[in-house]
Structure 1
């Protein structure tokens, strides 16, 4: 058994499976800010990771726990009582991927009805920018955030494939293309975290509408979104090229230690630090892209090096529950005081341990390594 095998086993047995669905131990935002139980993207990231792990090891406890967890939030008719469709929050669509997977695994109608409600009650009505891309949330009008790509576009690709909806497939590809055209920096190859179509937000450049910095985890979400969508839409050469280019560009910012920084293009900046969640999202996408034939051995090796570095240097495995360090708790633009998109802002956000936004990508990257062994 490798160290990574042992870490995964400990997390499952001592941290994840014992977590009550309404108060999971990995949701540090809910714990720190005493948020009531609600449908959210963080918990659904963890369930996604568990179902990926179930796919490779067949441990029925993972499936049973995922069912128990989802049933705590989704009623028999597919309603999600703690979700408000009128929020038009792309984060809330992330769990739809798990509804697809559990429907296919169990045949339970609540899951099919759940993802159909997400489609008809939110996706069909979701506000869009003038270019046709979704607003990130109702409270962030006319804004694209990279995070949203992971939350919604693979779900749309899966829905389009299930229902043979060519127009939706084209919509998914166009939204990825818009992100590339609007938000990619031609010098670094990295993507700006946010774009404001009105150029009026405090964080937006008055000419381009772009936020000033390249935040690691947002670029990691985009990598993962592209990788997952490429797996669904296997014939999309444009998305495969976009993913390959982004992974190559990101790999150029990996430090000698094997990590990516919170602000990957600002190595000289005091206080900039190796951030694990974004590094692991890169690792997951890189290893997956190599498996899908999108990238070559150099990218697979970069992804594995990043995963191995996190395993060896950023996880304390001395106790029953491993401790994954250097996870940025959150990152956003506007809304709250101080979220101005500056380097100082991103470096001021809380750094936590054992948050789901780090553990889930660790499990996801682990499953990709296992698939090619």
Structure 2
């Protein structure tokens, strides 16, 4: 039987844990969220003052590739809530340095090469200089004229390509962009590899190589965190961009809701998600990019009033606080960020201090998440 002192100690521990849990569930003030976003962004802008400088890892690549395009998506979201002239100028410099062109030219069908078009179109809408939209429109129009719809063979491509079609559809008031986007999406979802979306689990296999009989070490299906995050982001952007009466909107919304429902029970106790969503023992540990994309999707849904507050708000707040407190370094560097790849084993080991092969896309995901958390009601 415990004496008074022992009982008191237990009560104090319990109260301490309760306070910690309460603090973990409290959403930071808007000012604090913005401060974190500006810190992480400043780290990157200071490190890469020349927006046109090539990126050298295992080889040299131009800076208009998909990794940098995702960063600029995040930067434009930050610019929307904090319209600093330096953010706009940095994005314009990126477009200018590449002459508003696409890697591999207008004939490219690779969504990774077209992802830069998202920011090009955003900047065109701010200042309608024809060169800003010339090449991305030409590339998408060539794809549509070809009639081929099987290019998006991996789920990351949905985030890289779908928003471009949606933005052009709105800009030109032409449903043909929406319809072609849907045909390509449906091929990825229902045909590619037998269909990359598993409606039963509400999650996606990254590409045909991961469709069963492929299994994770624990025997479960392989659902890669960031891959599913890309799909969440694609659906959020399309739903945000398209008019309420746009074709196929309800199907996108349904899949978005199914995915988020599936993500809630597999969130880690610390607030992150594992790189392997159904095998917590396979390269387990915090990971920032997938977590940020899930936060982006959930916070957006809360802000739009289409997700249930009591279910999703605690999940979002816990995940955001985890990233802000555990992943962000004092100088703005982001830790726990998996490098490029397509499955849990790639870019490992992932740690607080590990440096990914590209720093840009992870920051883009984080900025997308943070801007939606910033908009959440207090």
What interval of TM-score do these two structures reach, taking the shorter chain for normalisation? 0.7 to 0.9
| Per-residue Cα deviation, 1:27-86 (whole angstroms, up to 9, x for no partner) | xxx333241424201111111111111111121111111101111012xxx544x42445
Task: Answer 1 or 2: which has greater helix percent.
Answer: 2
Q: Distance in 2 between matches of 1:84 and 1:114?
A: 8
Q: Tell me if 1:42 matches 2:67.
A: yes
Structure 1 residue 17 displacement after superposition: 4.8
Contact kept in structure 1, 2:108 and 2:139, CA below 8 Å: no
Q: Distance in 2 between matches of 1:242 and 1:284?
A: 16
The 5 A counterparts of 1:4-19 are 4-17=33-46, 19=48
Q: Distance in 1 between matches of 2:297 and 2:188?
A: 18
Contact kept in structure 2, 1:191 and 1:219, CA below 8 Å: yes
**Structure-1 residue corresponding to 2:372:** 368
Structure 1 residue 18 displacement after superposition: 5.2
Stretch deviating more after TM superposition (300-309 or 65-74) = 300-309
Contact kept in structure 1, 2:106 and 2:138, CA below 8 Å: no
Q: Distance in 2 between matches of 1:362 and 1:158?
A: 22
| Per-residue Cα deviation, 1:199-252 (whole angstroms, up to 9, x for no partner) | xx6x66579xxx962111010000000000001223422211111111111122
Q: Tell me if 1:274 matches 2:286.
A: yes
Unaligned runs of 5+ in 2: 1-28, 215-219
Structure 1 residue 305 displacement after superposition: 2.0
Structure 1 residue 349 displacement after superposition: 7.3
**Structure-1 residue corresponding to 2:334:** 324
Question: What secondary structure, in the 3-state scheme, does the structure 2 residue paired with 1:102 have?
Answer: helix
After superposition, the Cα gap between the structure-2 partners of 1:126 and 1:99, relative to the gap in structure 1 and judged at 3 Å, is farther
Q: Distance in 1 between matches of 2:176 and 2:62?
A: 36
Q: Tell me if 1:22 matches 2:52.
A: yes
**Structure-2 residue corresponding to 1:338:** none
Give the superposed CA RMSD.
Answer: 2.7
**Structure-2 residue corresponding to 1:192:** 205
Q: Distance in 2 between matches of 1:349 and 1:118?
A: 38
Structure 1 residue 281 displacement after superposition: 0.5
Q: Distance in 1 between matches of 2:164 and 2:227?
A: 18
The 5 A counterparts of 1:86-125 are 86-122=107-143, 124-125=145-146
Question: What secondary structure, in the 3-state scheme, does the structure 2 residue paired with 1:260 have?
Answer: coil
Question: What secondary structure, in the 3-state scheme, does the structure 1 residue paired with 2:284 have?
Answer: coil
**Structure-1 residue corresponding to 2:20:** none
Q: Tell me if 1:311 matches 2:311.
A: no
Structure 1 residue 289 displacement after superposition: 1.7
Structure 1 residue 179 displacement after superposition: 4.2
Q: Distance in 1 between matches of 2:70 and 2:348?
A: 24
Q: Distance in 1 between matches of 2:105 and 2:129?
A: 23
**Structure-2 residue corresponding to 1:56:** 81
Stretch deviating more after TM superposition (278-287 or 7-16) = 7-16
1:216 to 210, 213, 225: 225
Contact kept in structure 1, 2:340 and 2:347, CA below 8 Å: no
| Corresponding pairs, count | 329
**Structure-1 residue corresponding to 2:98:** 73
**Structure-1 residue corresponding to 2:168:** 159
Q: Distance in 2 between matches of 1:242 and 1:283?
A: 17
Q: Which structure has the greater CA radius of gyration? A: 2
After superposition, the Cα gap between the structure-2 partners of 1:308 and 1:272, relative to the gap in structure 1 and judged at 3 Å, is same
Structure 1 residue 123 displacement after superposition: 5.0
Contact kept in structure 2, 1:259 and 1:275, CA below 8 Å: yes
Tell me which of the two structures has the higher relative contact order, counting C-alpha pairs closer than 8 angstroms and 6 or more residues apart: 2
